[in-house]
Structure 1
Amino acid sequence: MSIQKEPLFLEALPVMQQLVDAGYEAYFVGGSVRDMLLHKPISDVDIATSATPQEVKEIFSHTVDVGIEHGTVMVIHHKEGYEVTTFRTEEGYEDFRHPDKVTFVRLLEEDLKRRDFTINALAIGIDDQLIDFFDGIGDLERQCIRCVGDAKERFNEDALRMFRAVRFVGQLGFQIEEETKNAISLLKMNLSKVAVERMKVEFEKMIQSSYRKDALTLFVETGLYQACPLFDGKENILLKLAEFPLKEMSVLQAWILFVDELNLSDKEVTHLLKSWKSSNEQIRDVLVGYKTYRARKKEEWNFFLAYACPYEVGCEVEQLLIARGNSTSMEGLEATYQSLPICSMNDIQLNGHDIIRILKLDKKGPIIGQVLKTVEKMILEQSIQNDAEILELYVLTHFGSGK
């Protein structure tokens, strides 16, 4: 395996070469090396060097301080940014996430020693020399997630690493080494000290992973779920998510299934999702998806269901129904959405100004909303055409001064 064959490595090589030419060590490290060895797509590259941040800035003419206190400088090369981080050691993690002290060092081994898992503590130089101090390659071959050194120490340094271990099980299909698993069970509640936003990223990656069943089962077995917002006592529902017969599950689908199993009210759904720091958009999609899913289990697609549910959300709902045997195809959904007479109130060939004119109103009032809601309902029922003249006559006849 050669870094020359990987486009992202190849593009970053000149940065590494300049560091080496200046007399420093430089290596590609971490996840990109792991993914290269696993023949998986590489999304970005990280460069580690013996040069201090100041020395890096002296070598390159275009740099940006992105995390200089932790040794990271972004080097701009051909309009692309590459994060270059000085070899470092870390001490003190009072918040179970960030080091209290960072010390720059000149030895690669000292830097790799502080990393989370052996499969992420790999480095490769410009000459394709692979450096593996902790048998990470062996663990890749054994398909094993194992901490570098003492698992309890690694998790006490950064509690989010426990969630990352479970997530890697889901993404890679690996098994977790026993000492690492036991350390998670022992230290699981430290995860509650981590920002929910960081937990959310890991949870969503786990849900979307190829080996979701293995990851969620481990999530429950270790008790890690107990440290997550409003998940304590929900182990049976999480295991149902693990077993749900859908090969690839989206985050939206997971939340729809989760809240459906709990039979939550809209207010309770909103509270749960806000506790997970979900965006207003995500909350809205889950609420409408949940409502549609429950209705769709009892009835076929119709204009009212489709009108109230964005097409993309409707597709995800239908995939759930197909997986559980309530539906056989997407045809009913497609046919309903394609023949919708209106997709929103803006499509109605009548607006508030028209109603004021037709009814000779002095000003806007609640009557306008009442008329629009009535017309909207009738169009979806197909009891009236969405035609300006027909709608005007209907409004005049049914809402005029004589009525």
Structure 2
Amino acid sequence: MPSSPALPDWQTAVVKVGSALVAPDARGCSTRYLLPIAQWIREHRAQGKTVIVVSSGAVAAGRAAQGRADATTSLTIPEKQALAAIGQSLLMQHWSRLFDVPCAQVLLTYDDLRRRSRFVNAKNTLSALIDTGALPIVNENDTVAVEELHVGDNDNLAAFVAVLAEADLLVMCSDVDGLYDADPHATPGATRIPQVDAIDASIYALAGGSHHAAATGGMRTKIEAAEKATDRGIPAVIVNGTKRAHFDALRGGTVPGTLFKAAAPDRQLSSRKHWMRHALSATGTLFVDAGAARALQEQGASLLPSGITDVQGTFARGDAVTVALRIGGEIQPVAKGITQYGAAEVQAIQGRHSTAMAEVLDTAPVDYVIHRNDLVLL
């Protein structure tokens, strides 16, 4: 049997509970698996610790309320939004029955994460709720979210919430024991990986999709969430929420599933750089030469127009763009940053020395395209 690593010390934890646990038969909310999770949360709150729940299940609850039991039937976005609107209050009632403190509903959208002012406001709201003693229950606001402004799964949302709350532990409750070296549903001899020291392409290669009809995630989204959390210095664990013994193990200070170790202090991202890397979507690409790529990666330099070789996409000043290097026929992402010039302006000044920018632009307030403080390496 694989070993069980020690659970890191924590004071604030975000616990993500997926649809497979909230609605195991995909026909509405159930307490079958939630009772041990709720007991674990109550015990740690009684110890003075802070817990925030990120819960799926609104669409499943709405589906059940409408008598639509077949979870395999695909839904349009308006149908999902309508069912989420019906199910959110039912989901909150379900959680509230499990606790003797007020449960506070917090609905977030991707816009709350990508816009820095709203990100900070969400952070302040969570902090104020915690100060009141309420238990925050977070979900994506599926009622108004659209595809292009959609986190899309609660694993990644939970990681963003962990960053918002400055948590020191992310717990993802799944219906599998952890990350395996092969799909355990298809490969009986698959071995659980007890600890991941760093997330790279080899770890992502182990991921598969979700096998549960009501779920939207899978192992890949859990790895994505773990990367977001560990980049900010927050360890993440995957545990089997269908097994009471897994919560007994957590009480005893061990991780029965998979522990993703926090990045080393010198590799952790600041709050702003984490926001740029993980919350901002790039709207274009600036291709650079090898010298510019080295200056960004090794010297912490700003991106100057002289190093830019090509521009793709339509973007405006203040948008996020990817900085990339072409190597042969492949594109290698180098960084992401906030540009000080729009696409047409960058095309006009690409390859030019900074002192020549004013010759082709009506106005050139700064002599760089992306300042080093507005840039994060990928």
Higher Cα Rg, which structure: 1
The structure where strand makes up a greater share of residues is 2
Higher RCO (CA-CA < 8 Å; seq separation 6+): 2
The structure where helix makes up a greater share of residues is 1
Identify whether the pair has TM-score above 0.5, normalized to the shorter chain.
Answer: no
